[in-house]
Amino acid sequence: MVRLLRSTLKDPKKIIRALEFAPSFLMGKAYLFIFGIDPLKVHNFGRIHIRKYDNSVIVIKSGILLREVEIATRGNGKIIIGENFHCEPYVRLNVFEDGILKIGDNCGIGSFSIINATKKITIGNNVLISSHVHIIDGDHGIRKRELIRNQKMVSKPIEIGDDVWIGTGVKILKGVKIGKGAVIGAGSVVTRDIPPYSIAVGIPARVIKER
């Protein structure tokens, strides 16, 4: 950190960039502090958005949040994130009503990924989630003779084990369990359980081999 500061002070262009960056950096730190997240353990690079409504809870033990990350909880929802979390730009983490999102230690989420928890989504330790991934544990009801928008959500928990790698553009739908050490290929749609240490690809995702 000291070395970075010294090199910045020696370069006028770096000084200008630092001054441009400062307001969003400080605003992000204020967000963390206001919502009870330790700004000395969770580092933001650029502006972030934290929205905590009603009786909801947000816990992030330590990590890095890059610019334009949005974390939102409502109702009695809970977001619990472990140590050494790394979150790329434009990620959205949303928990609704009584939903729970639990993410273990040493996990990373790529840019533009979205996780929506209405029931419960559990992500283990050392999980790699690539960019443009959607993990959603609920669907709209689709009964006839009733507007879809007026029907209750149908939700089932999602569980992702330790040491899982989820490729770019993967969609993981409600009620799915992905076993420890599994790999989900880019662009796949996961609608059924994936066994531990399996490699699955396709729409819907099917196991093609074991690691």
Angle at 73 between CA 65 and CA 181, to 5 degrees: 60
| List of residues 6+ apart from 69 with CB closer than 8 A | 44, 48, 49, 87, 89, 90, 91, 92, 93
Classify strands 153-155 and 128-129 as parallel, antiparallel or unpaired.
Answer: unpaired
Radius of gyration of the chain (CA): 19
Can 134 be counted among the known catalytic residues?
Answer: no
Annotated catalytic residue, options 49, 132, 134, 140: 140
Rounded Cα distance, 200 and 182, in Å = 8
Place of tokens 């979390």: 85
What size, in residues, is the chain? Answer: 211
The catalytic residue positions are 140
